[in-house]
């Protein structure tokens, strides 16, 4: 069987978006190769013991490299000493530790390829170095853009440095994998000579993760539950939703129950400022398994992206689970990846700036009780299932078939 070394800074039980998506991908990949995984044993990060508890079963080896995460020290480094520490990010020190540990731990071991998963961007520099040190193919998977990332605030020096490092690393990778067609288009424009090695690979859901819920008919007169799960951070905000709710009549708002699970510290004050507290309920964040149950029990799931003056290239990892939940979706997102995906699934999506359009969609839900709102058909969701995604990734890695098929031959 082919032997693959996979490096992802964050994996379960750490509760980060990348942990979920890359963990799911590696969990499906382990049946197709001898898989060795390197990850950070991060101290201080959020943990969820329910998140893929058997992920590492059946893997050939798991190498955990400790890193203590002090958010106050990290913030000081990022703000006061960027020239030293942002080359290209605050994880560069762990990457150096990881390289030394890999070379020591796997001394004499032959791999068919190395796959790295970014964020953080410095993972690409680790992959570039290992490509030369181990003499293997290197596949660089990037969930977000690296240089000129629109959601990362950086000074002119850091921007120039990241552009240089990106060009060096992406110019050497044997394959470049991105999570949206829009990101691939961005990088094909930037590095046209590298276009043949660029691939789009969707985030994915696993149907087996979702609980079975017997959905009884909603009693007459009960509000329609529209649920958003996750935190608002950076430029992402519920303000477009709240602004649209304010345009509705009191009767229309009474027919809707907006539930935000997680949200963040800014949301309560924003809810008060828009005067929509009567129909917007706030709940604390929950574990991953519970979040899937809440998705399945929702009447409609809300997708809210950050405003953008440019077409968005981001595929929110949570959107993959929303699709897998089998519920109707309502998107509030600028043109780009999310709008394309939702439109392709037959689900409405309005720009974050289109307050009247968002209000019109909410009025439609209030008037019909959500009865005219259909979830995506199962056939439409196939491109976002993990079996589809892992098959495409295995082909990029050069793995021709699952282990059981290869053994049968």
pLDDT at 72: 52
Across the range 193-203, mean pLDDT stands at 98
Q: For residues 119 and 9, is the Cβ–Cβ distance under 8 A? A: yes
Q: What number is the average pLDDT over the span 316-343?
A: 97
33 pLDDT more than 70: yes
Q: How confident is the model at residue 403 (pLDDT cuts 50, 70, 90)?
A: very low
- Beta-bridge partner residues of 385: 205
Higher pLDDT, 234 or 103: 103
The CATH H-level (homologous superfamily) assignment of domain 208-381 is Glycogen Phosphorylase B; (3.40.50.2000)
Question: Across the strands, what pairs with 282?
Answer: 260
Maximum C-alpha span of the chain: 71
User: How large a percentage of the chain has pLDDT more than 90?
Assistant: 76
User: How far is the C-alpha of 22 from the C-alpha of 405, rounded, in Å?
Assistant: 24
pLDDT at 353: 96
Q: Which of 55, 61, 58 is nearest to 109 (CA)?
A: 61
Question: 220-234, 267-281, 340-354: lowest mean pLDDT where?
Answer: 220-234
- pLDDT, averaged across the chain: 90
pLDDT band at 83 (very low <50, low <70, confident <90, very high): very low
Task: Name the helix (H) or strand (E) containing 221.
Answer: none
Task: Note whether 310 and 317 are within 8 A (CB).
Answer: no
Domain with CATH 3.40.50.2000 in the chain: 3-204+385-408, 208-381
pLDDT at 217 (0 to 100): 65
More confident: 47 or 215: 47
Residue 404 has pLDDT above 50, yes or no: no
The predicted model scores a pTM of 0.90
Q: What is the mean pLDDT of residues 282-289?
A: 93
Q: Is pLDDT at 161 greater than 50 in this prediction?
A: yes
Per-residue confidence band for 408, with pLDDT thresholds at 50, 70 and 90: very low
Domain 3-204+385-408: which topology?
Rossmann fold (3.40.50)
CA contacts within 13 A on the Cβ side of 318: 20
Neighbours of 262 (CB within 10 A): 16
CB 288 within 8 A of CB 51: yes
Residue 72 burial by Cβ neighbours in a 10 Å radius (0-12, 13-18, 19+): exposed
- 239 has pLDDT over 60: yes
Pairing mode of beta strands 3-8, 113-118: parallel
Of residues 339 and 162, more confidence is placed in: 339
pLDDT tens by residue, 38-79: 999 877 678 898 899 999 999 999 999 987 555 555 555 455
Query: In terms of pLDDT, which residue wins out, 73 or 139?
Result: 139
Determine the Cα–Cα distance for residues 373 and 364; give it in Å rounded to an integer.
9
Per DSSP, the residues of 15-53 read -SHHHHHHHHHHHHHTTSSEEEEEEEEEESS-B-TTS-T
Given a cut of 80, whether residue 311 has pLDDT beyond it is: yes
List beta partners, residue 350: 332
Terminus-to-terminus CA distance in the chain, angstroms? 12
Q: What is the pLDDT of residue 251?
A: 95
Mean pLDDT to the nearest integer, 342-346: 97
């Amino acid at each position: 069987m082919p032997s693959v070394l996979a490096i992802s800074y964050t994996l379960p039980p750490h509760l980060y978006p990348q942990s979920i998506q890359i963990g799911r991908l590696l969990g499906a990949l382990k049946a197709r190769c001898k898989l060795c995984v390197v990850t950070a044993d991060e101290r201080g990060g959020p943990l969820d013991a329910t998140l893929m508890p058997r992920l590492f079963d059946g893997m050939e080896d798991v190498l955990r490299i400790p890193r203590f995460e002090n958010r106050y020290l990290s913030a000081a480094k990022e703000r006061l000493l960027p020239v030293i520490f942002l080359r290209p990010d605050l994880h560069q020190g762990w990457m150096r530790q990881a390289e030394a540990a890999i070379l020591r731990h796997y001394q004499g071991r032959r791999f068919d390829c190395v796959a790295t998963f970014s964020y953080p961007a410095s993972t690409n520099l680790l992959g570039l170095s290992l490509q030369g040190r181990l003499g293997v193919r290197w596949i660089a998977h990037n969930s977000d853009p690296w240089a000129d990332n629109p959601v990362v605030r950086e000074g002119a020096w850091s921007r120039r440095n990241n552009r240089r490092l990106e060009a060096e690393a992406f110019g050497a990778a044997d394959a470049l994998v991105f999570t949206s067609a829009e990101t691939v288009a961005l990088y094909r424009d930037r590095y046209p000579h590298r276009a043949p090695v660029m691939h789009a690979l969707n985030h994915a859901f696993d149907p087996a993760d979702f609980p079975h819920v017997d959905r009884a008919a909603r009693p007459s007169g009960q509000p329609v539950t529209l649920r958003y799960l996750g935190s608002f951070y950076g430029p992402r905000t519920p303000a477009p939703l709240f602004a649209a709710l304010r345009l509705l009549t009191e009767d229309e708002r009474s027919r809707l129950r907006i539930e935000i699970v997680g949200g963040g510290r800014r949301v309560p004050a924003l809810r008060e400022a828009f005067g929509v507290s009567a129909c917007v309920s706030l709940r604390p964040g929950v574990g991953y398994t519970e979040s899937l149950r809440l998705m399945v029990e929702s009447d409609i799931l809300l997708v809210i992206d950050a405003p953008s003056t440019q077409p968005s290239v981001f595929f929110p990892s949570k959107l993959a689970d929303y699709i897998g939940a089998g519920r109707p979706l309502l998107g509030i997102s600028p043109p780009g990846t999310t709008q394309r995906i939702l439109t392709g699934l037959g689900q409405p999506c309005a720009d974050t700036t289109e307050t009247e359009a968002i209000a019109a969609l909410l009025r439609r839900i209030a008037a019909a009780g959500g009865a005219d709102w259909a979830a995506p058909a199962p056939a439409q969701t196939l491109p976002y299932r993990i079996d589809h995604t892992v098959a495409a990734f295995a082909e990029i890695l050069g793995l021709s078939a699952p282990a059981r098929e290869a053994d049968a031959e």
